[in-house]
Amino acid sequence: MEQNMLQMFEVGPCEDAYQMGFLIGQRFSNLIKSRLKTDLILQNQLLPFSCSPQSQSLIRTLSDANRKKFPRYWDELIGTAEGSGVPVLDIILLNFRKEILPFIPKATTEEADTIDDCSDILVASDSMAVVCHNEDANVALIGHTYLVKAQLSNGLSFAAYTYAGELPSCAFGFNSNALAFTLNSVPPSEAEIVPGGIGRNFISRDLLEATDLDDALSRLQLSEASVGHSYNLVDMRRRKILNVETASRNRISVYEVGMTPFFHANMYLHLKVEQVHDDNSISRQRRASELSKQSKADFLSLLGDTQDEKHTIYMAGPTLYTLCTAVIDLDEQTLSIIQGNPKNGEISHVFSMSSKKFDVLQ
């Protein structure tokens, strides 16, 4: 499957959040409309459910809670919908998909929710401090992602890998405060989910505005999340990497990555939460434990591994696909994006994170 060239849009400073969203939606209108047509989870599950009486209270509660907690990001979401010329409901459903899907009657779910599985390998040793991240998604996302490089009116800038129609970023990003993150989906059981809580897309959008590592942790601790997530937080200035697992009711566990390479797929590893059994993630976790992890090249080889025919670490269809690999090097102070298998793929973008401008080097 061929991917289109990853496009980047520089936006801001803007008059307000709505204008920023509008300009992003306008710039990527074709990609957003294309995704809406081809995303089977949206078409076969989310949209039919949104027409049912039982969905109205959930969607209304989600919308009200997130609009109240994050009014600027809500305006940005509405601006994205209106700028792209698509129904606001479709954009709401995309951004709340993880908070809605658990409540859709199982008999109606035809497509598996495999929208944002990912794999990360991290280390912070004396010789190397690196985060390598596979951005895995449903094949509907192929060609439906872009980079947003935004400058806000308060002087903060951020860059974020973004799924078409969604808030930046449900994948990875960084800001001019030398803070970066990558994300891993985790599967809490239905009993662990709080209906109508804060959406993960809004929480990760908020992380893009964190002033430092402590502020990022505070935002996660007070997130009031509906469902769980795993965050790999990177502090360039302090040369520090944290894996943070969260769940509803503001539960959080923080693991500081050190000399021993740490692999994270899509299962909780240190936060005690009842979770859904995931053979794919368990298989990737097991395979990663068998592979060498001595150098950055080893990390990329691990993320490019395809030995297990059923549950490969690097994914190439038919349902899941590795859209790209992000490499954050804390010593070089760069974030690189590789398209194709990271063993031999091509670097499409390199950002320098050593200055407030985080210049694009490639």
Ramachandran angles phi, psi of 294, nearest 5°: -95, -20
Residue 231: beta bridge partners? 183, 244
| Res 115: pLDDT | 47
Angle, nearest 10°, between helix axes 17-27 and 29-38?
70
pLDDT at position 356 is 63
User: Quick check: 148 and 140 in contact, CB under 8 A?
Assistant: no
Which residue, among 362, 354, 351, has the nearest Cα to 159 in the 3D structure?
Answer: 351
**In this structure, are strands 157-163 and 172-175 parallel, antiparallel, or unpaired?**
antiparallel
- 139-175 b/e with 16+ CB inside 10 Å = b? bbbbbbbbbbbbbbeeebbbbbbbbbbbbbbbbbbbb
* 124 in a structural domain: no
Does residue 317 form part of some domain? Answer: no
Beta bridge partners of 360: 351
pTM for this one?
A: 0.94
Which pLDDT value is given to residue 2? 46
Residues 326, 335: contact at Cβ < 8 Å?
yes
pLDDT at 361: 67
- Asked whether residue 302 is domain-assigned, the answer is no
- R_g of the chain, CA atoms, integer Å: 19
Tell me the two tokens of residue 31.
């990609």
**Count of positions (residues) in the chain:** 362
Indicate whether 30 belongs to any domain: yes
Segments of the chain scoring below 50 in pLDDT: 1-2, 108-112, 114-115
Residue 195 burial class via C-beta count within 10 angstroms: exposed 0-12, middle 13-18, buried 19 and up: middle
Establish if 31 belongs to a structural domain: yes
Please check whether residue 314 lies inside any domain of the structure: no
- The domain in which residue 99 lies consists of 8-108
Exposed, middle or buried: residue 298 (CB in 10 Å: 0-12, 13-18, 19+)?
middle
Distances (CA, A) of 261 to 123, 256, 294, 299: 5, 11, 8, 9
Q: CB atoms < 10 A from the CB of 240, how many?
A: 16
Does 206 reside within a domain? no
Backbone angles phi, psi at 44, to 5 degrees: -95, -20
Residue 282: both structure tokens together:
């368990």
Report which of 22, 23, 25 is spatially closest to residue 79, judged by C-alpha positions.
Answer: 22
CATH number of the domain enclosing 59: 1.10.439
CB 275 within 8 A of CB 261: no
Does residue 19 sit within a domain?
Answer: yes
* pLDDT value for 208: 98
Pick from 304, 358, 361: nearest CA to 149: 358
Please tell me the total count of domains within the chain: 1
What is residue 108's predicted lDDT score, i.e. its pLDDT? Answer: 46
Other beta carbons within 10 Å of 126: 6
Which pLDDT value is given to residue 106? 75
- Mean pLDDT over all residues of the chain? 93
